[in-house]
């Protein structure tokens, strides 16, 4: 994989030119893209031309991929839907502009499930092409995993960053709700949609998030603080595979050996209620956010999306409002629980990437945290017996993104084969 | 003015056809539009053709105007900016779809200030064409005031619904934050932007909001409950004109005579702090939301917008985060204060519409309530000595939109000349 931080340091030291970095990406894309199918649009030459003007900026010379639900004025934007075939927006999404301002070179658009919901993209898992890469940010996770790009952007409404990162064995970071702007990103659910990032390691996604947000989020250079970790198995623990349960156990023990305080914690009942509420919020809002597409192009929507929109259309405002109240109470309860911990450790997904490309897997270990607005990091480094990645998830407190990234970096280090 | 409720009732009773309603609008437009300049796009014929298919729906046959920051697939969408001259989006904004689903006939786009900020639109105040109609929803307020349309939509980030409603002498309703979806509406500030409506009277905007949201918000038919009203003069009371101070006094006494409990209340200090924080939140977010336009078309932005975006670009994330914390504390303090009251009565604007078209007036009596996410209603019915409208504002509790509308209806009734 290409580490954004390592590349940035070598560029800064004059050991690599931006053109050489784009060549590295181009070579990997030539070698892997035919099998992986991470991209729906690509313009490496355009990026080469723009590279010079970015000297001195934090992402100078780094090629970046944007999930194809971010509007781009210079590349087609299709939202994973035939309705938008060849569509070229007038303006860039805000996050695209922030990437460009930071010197990042937007080289392509990565494959997304239809409107970032469930209907799969063409992408295959770089570790085993008969397995899903996860979704909805399928191409963004796979592009990093296949060593084609150092940084890609995605979005999460249920588990669309953390799950594909776990399935593809890369670092995935869903920051706190609204830390990065969703303006110009196709909306599915305004209370849930969150911009996220993929990179080779935790320090890489932290570096890129810091670069575009201007926030003090870098965690490279220096030893991460020793975190207090709550191991949370949730009420759906039965849904985790044996491999995943073992991975959480391995991660907990590795963190402990590295000095972390680790304690098993049961979630208050209101969080299980909130878990049930997520689909209510998501579908109610999706039925409104995608009303134009449903009303005008229903025949061109997948059955799974039609089902979501029709389910959401039947939810009354009273039920939706009640769901929002549950969500608010759950956030307060979670804040109380987190008073004694820096982060939660929990699965990133039910297990390794499922076989088949007809489904992108399930977001059951993600959606509660998305609803809570909490920062979530997929920590890569573990694998099942067949070599497929198994990701564990660090969940931080809302607004404490730096602490979440530091704890994730700590765990990532503790999981390195040398340390385990 | 055209009352949406009265028209809907006559259509339902078979006394009026939708075509006849469109004729009414067309006549008023022919008579007033050359002077008022409320529209930037108009298609009455298209609406005539679509009218039949809306039979049985709540807004059946009612022509509706959308502020030109809502995307429309069948009408140009220019956001009040030359950058978007002739732009035709691929999809309708969610609120546009909801209007169509409810049977409303979108007949045109109304003039907006540049990106719903301060640089004025061409619109003139229907009561005196040398005065501003207010902004940013200038055309939407003026179109209703001039009797050209029964319902129009706008948006409020500072005071862009309540203020132009007050200046134009119509009912304006800014619902609770996110009650109506902002998807497909050009974003200026994601924490503040709120969809709102204009109509002839309070019952009209309540009727239309109920129709498109499916919420129990209608307040027509029946006597409104007697509200408990807190009269709030705010720390900026000195900025209100003598006329406006007298108008608030008149409104308070009229409400009292009609049976309301009315009490003067001073706001806790944290609300004055929140008042100061609004521009921080707005400009920080605008600098990101409009990053593409600033980075690519700076020469085509007005000086006042460039100033906003550059000011916002200099605000650090720490200052922004501190502002959000102030805002959260202020919301809690406001909720505590409102435990003893149904609504607040306060000015809708510093006074009547100022002379001149170079400014749309000031949002100083609106921005705090927008930041609080509270439902706000401009109650028309008062005027200064020259006959220009003076609006007073009812502010409700977040999520209690029905109570706010009921109290506004109560006050509207109490202010009728017969009752004062």
pLDDT tens-digit readout, A114-171: 999 999 999 999 999 999 999 999 999 999 999 999 999 999 999 999 999 999 999 9
pLDDT of residue B223: 86
Would the CB atoms of B181 and A285 count as touching at under 8 Å? yes
Identify all chain A residues contacting B291, using CB atoms and an 8 Å cutoff. 92, 94, 97-98, 101
**Per-residue model confidence (pLDDT) at position B52:** 85
Closest CA–CA distance from residue B84 to any residue of chain A (Å): 8
ipTM metric: 0.97
Contacts with B215 from chain A: Cβ below 8 Å? 317
Distance, in angstroms, between B268 CA and closest chain A CA? Answer: 24
Q: Rounded mean pLDDT of A9-17?
A: 96
How near does any CA of chain B get to the CA of A360, in Å? 26
User: Is residue B237 exposed (0-12), middle (13-18) or buried (19+ Cβ within 10 Å)?
Assistant: middle
**B262-293 burial string, b = 16+ CB within 10 Å, else e?**
beebebbebbeebbebbbbbbbbbbbbbbbbb
Q: What does the pLDDT read at residue A245?
A: 97
The average pLDDT across A224-252 equals: 96
Residues of B in contact with A285 (CB under 8 A): 181
Supply the pLDDT for residue A305. 98
Residues 6+ apart with CB under 8 A from B129: B35, B36
Residue A357 has pLDDT above 80, yes or no: yes
Residue B400 makes CB contacts below 8 A (sequence gap 6+) with B176, B342, B375
Q: What span, in angstroms and rounded, lies between the C-alpha atoms of A251 and A171?
A: 15
How far apart are alpha carbons A280 and A418 in whole angstroms? 45
> Which pLDDT belongs to residue A214?
97
Please indicate whether, in this complex, the C-beta atoms of B215 and A187 are within 8 angstroms of each other.
no
pLDDT of residue B286 exceeding 80, the answer is: yes
pLDDT bucket at A417, cuts 50 / 70 / 90: confident
Instruction: Compare CB distances from A183 to B101, B190, B295 and report the shortest one's residue.
Output: B190
- A29 pLDDT tier (thresholds 50, 70, 90): very high
Q: Is some CB atom of chain A closer than 8 A to the CB atom of B420?
A: no
Give rounded-to-5 percent helix, strand, coil for chain A. 45, 15, 40
Residue of A181, A285, A292 with shortest CB distance to B97: A292
How much is the average pLDDT of B179-198? 98
Model pLDDT for residues A199-226, shown as the tens digit of each residue:
999 999 999 999 999 999 999 988 888 9
pLDDT of the residue at B297:
98
- For residue B293, the chain A residues in CB contact (below 8 A) are 91
Interstrand relation of B105-110 and B63-67 (parallel, antiparallel or unpaired):
parallel
Cα–Cα distance, B365 to B158 (Å, whole number): 9
Q: Tell me, what's the pLDDT at A53?
A: 87
Calculate how close chain B gets to A262, using CA atoms only, in Å: 30
A190 touches B: beta carbon within 8 Å: yes
pLDDT of residue B291: 98
Looking at residue B123, what DSSP letter applies? -
For B91, the closest of A96, A183, A293 (CB atoms) is: A293
Percent of chain B with pLDDT over 70: 99
- How near does any CA of chain B get to the CA of A217, in Å? 11
B53 confidence band (pLDDT: 50, 70, 90): confident
- pLDDT number for residue B236: 95
- Which residues of A are known to be catalytic? 67, 136, 160
Query: Using one digit for the tens of pLDDT, what is the confidence trace for A242-282?
Result: 999 999 999 999 999 999 999 999 999 999 999 999 999 99
Mean pLDDT over the full length of chain A: 97
Confidence at residue B420, expressed as pLDDT on a 0 to 100 scale: 62
Q: Which residues of A240-277 are buried (b: 16+ CB within 10 A; e: fewer)?
A: bbebbeebbebbbebbeebebebeebebbebbeebbeb
Interface test with B, best of A83, A84, A91 (most B CBs within 10 A): A91
Does the CB of B78 have a partner CB in chain A at under 8 Å?
A: no
Residues of A in contact with B397 (CB under 8 A): none
pLDDT by residue (tens digit) across B216-233? 999 998 888 899 999 999
Residue with the larger pLDDT of the pair B397 and B54: B397
pTM of the model: 0.97
The mean pLDDT value for B140-151 works out to: 98
Distance (Å, whole) CA B407 – CA B378: 11
Chain B contacts of A317, Cβ < 8 Å? 213-215
Q: Do B181 and A73 lie within an 8 Å CB cutoff?
A: no
Average pLDDT, chain B: 97
First-to-final CA distance of chain A = 22
The total of other beta-carbon atoms located within 10 Å of residue B375's CB is 30
User: What span, in angstroms and rounded, lies between the C-alpha atoms of A362 and A167?
Assistant: 11
State how beta strands A63-67 and A151-156 pair.
parallel
Q: Which of B87, B101, B292 has the CB atom closest to A295's CB atom?
A: B101
| Residue B419 confidence (pLDDT) | 64
DSSP SS3 for B25: helix
Which of residues 288 through 317 in chain B touch A, CB cutoff 8 A?
Answer: 288-289, 291-293, 295-296, 316-317
pLDDT confidence of residue A111 = 98
Using CB atoms, pick whichever of B97, B215, B293 lies closest to residue A91.
Answer: B293
**Cα separation of B242 and A48, whole Å?**
63
Percent of the residues in chain A that have a pLDDT greater than 70, as a whole number: 99
User: Domains (ranges, CATH) in chain A?
Assistant: 4-213 (3.90.1300.10), 228-266+341-414 (3.40.190), 270-328 (no CATH)
d(Cα B310, Cα B410) in Å, to the nearest integer? Answer: 44
Contact A289 B94 (CB under 8 A): yes
Contact A355, A127 (CB under 8 A): no
Inter-chain residue contact B292 with A73, CB threshold 8 Å: yes
Is B321 within 8 Å of A399 when comparing Cβ atoms? yes
Which spans in A65-168 are helix H? 94-101, 138-145, 162-168
Length of chain B: 420
CB of B285 less than 8 A from some CB of A: yes
Q: Is the pLDDT of residue A420 over 70?
A: no
pLDDT at A33: 98
Residue contacts between A and B (CB atoms, under 8 Å): 82
pLDDT digits (tens, 9 = 90+) for B94-132: 999 999 999 999 999 999 999 999 999 999 999 999 999
Mean pLDDT of the B385-389 span: 95
Q: Where residue A52 falls among pLDDT bands split at 50, 70, 90?
A: confident
The neighbour count for residue A412, using CB atoms within 10 Å, is 23
Cβ contacts of A85 on chain B, cutoff 8 Å: none
In B37-120, which ranges are continuous DSSP H helix? Answer: 44-50, 94-101
Beta carbons of A232 and A344 less than 8 angstroms apart: yes
d(CA B363, CA B158): 6
B288 contacts A94? CB cut-off 8 A = yes
Average pLDDT score over residue span A15-27 = 96
**DSSP run (H or E) holding B140:** helix B138-145
Alpha carbons A402 and A224: distance in angstroms, whole number: 10
Tell me which residue in A84, A183, A317 faces B90 most closely, judged by beta carbons. Answer: A84
The closest CB to that of B317, out of A215, A289, A293, belongs to A215
**How far does chain B reach from its first CA to its final CA, in angstroms?**
22
A199: three-class secondary structure by DSSP:
strand
Which residues of chain B lie closer than 8 angstroms to A214, CB-CB?
Answer: 316-317
Question: What stretches of A140-209 adopt beta strand conformation (E)?
Answer: 151-156, 171-174, 194-199
Banded pLDDT at A418 (limits 50, 70, 90): low
């Amino acid at each position: 994989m290409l580490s954004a931080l390592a590349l940035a340091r070598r560029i800064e030291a004059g050991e690599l030119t931006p053109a050489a970095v784009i060549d590295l990406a181009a070579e990997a894309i030539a070698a892997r893209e035919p099998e992986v199918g991470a991209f729906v649009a690509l313009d490496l030459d355009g990026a080469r031309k723009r590279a010079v003007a970015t000297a001195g900026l934090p992402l100078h010379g780094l090629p970046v991929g944007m999930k194809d639900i971010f509007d781009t004025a210079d590349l087609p934007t299709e939202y994973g839907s035939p309705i938008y075939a060849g569509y070229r927006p007038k303006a860039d999404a805000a996050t695209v502009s922030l990437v460009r301002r930071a010197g990042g070179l937007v080289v392509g658009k990565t494959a997304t499930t239809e409107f970032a919901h469930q209907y799969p993209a063409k992408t295959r898992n770089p570790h085993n092409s008969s397995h899903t890469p996860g979704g909805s940010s399928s191409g963004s996770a796979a592009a990093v995993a296949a060593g084609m790009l150092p940084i890609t952007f995605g979005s999460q409404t249920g588990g669309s960053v953390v799950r594909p990162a776990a399935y593809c064995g890369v670092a995935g970071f869903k920051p706190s709700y609204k830390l990065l702007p969703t303006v110009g990103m196709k909306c599915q659910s305004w209370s849930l949609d969150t911009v996220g990032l993929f990179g080779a390691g935790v320090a890489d996604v932290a570096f890129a998030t810091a670069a575009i947000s201007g926030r003090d989020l870098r965690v490279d250079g220096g030893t991460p603080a020793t975190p207090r970790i709550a191991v949370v198995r949730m009420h759906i623990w039965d849904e985790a595979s044996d491999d995943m349960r073992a991975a959480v156990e391995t991660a907990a023990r590795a963190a402990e050996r590295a000095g972390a305080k680790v304690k098993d914690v049961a979630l208050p009942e209101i969080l299980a209620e909130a878990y049930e509420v997520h689909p209510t919020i998501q579908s109610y809002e999706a039925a409104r956010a995608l009303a134009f597409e449903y009303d005008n192009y229903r025949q061109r929507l997948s059955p799974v999306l039609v089902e979501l929109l029709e389910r959401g259309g039947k939810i009354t405002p009273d039920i939706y409002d009640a769901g929002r109240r549950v969500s608010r109470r759950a956030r307060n309860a979670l804040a109380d629980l987190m008073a004694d911990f820096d982060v939660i450790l929990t699965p990133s997904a039910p297990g390794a990437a499922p076989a088949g490309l007809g489904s992108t897997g399930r977001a059951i270990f993600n959606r509660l945290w998305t609803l809570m607005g909490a920062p979530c990091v997929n920590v890569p480094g573990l694998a099942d017996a067949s070599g497929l990645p198994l990701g564990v998830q660090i969940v931080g407190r809302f607004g404490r993104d730096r602490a979440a990234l530091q704890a994730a970096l700590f765990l990532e280090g503790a999981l390195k084969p040398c340390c385990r």
